[in-house]
Amino acid sequence: MFANVHKIFGASNVSKLLNELLPHQREDAVNSLAFEAEARVRDPVYGCVGAISFLQRQVDRLQKELDAANADLIRYAAAATQAPPPPPRHRSAVDYGRGGGGGGGFYNQTPSSFTFPYNYHFPTWNGGGVDGNI
């Protein structure tokens, strides 16, 4: 840890900086210097700003996903309260004979009998963010 701090900032500069701080501030300063030095070793151009930018883009993407999920929930809840599902249909013995192989005819239901919201968009994972920048 100190090797990266020494390499990036120099021991003399770190010493001067820490001597100018109040004793209760030094631990936070050392932790900040160590974090910045590690970030500079990993990304010499942007350092911790690059990490912060990456995390901010991730927060923005996740906020958009959360907003979309909340909108879907609101639409689904509104649709459920406006139009109650039709009562279950009583099947006759003739209905159970359709569909080949029994199973209660579950797969013979029409799409309108399903209650799943069809406008729901499944999130896709392509290894990146919504805009592919992550």
The more confidently predicted of residues 113 and 22 is: 22
Predicted TM-score (pTM) of this structure: 0.47
List the structure tokens of 35: 């974090």
Please state, in angstroms and as integers, the Cα–Cα distance from residue 9 to each residue in 27, 44, 45, 86, following that order.
17, 13, 15, 71
| Measured distance CA(52)–CA(49) in Å, rounded | 5
Indicate the domain borders of the chain: 1-42, 57-134
Give the per-residue pLDDT at 88.
Answer: 75
Q: What is the mean pLDDT of residues 75-103?
A: 66
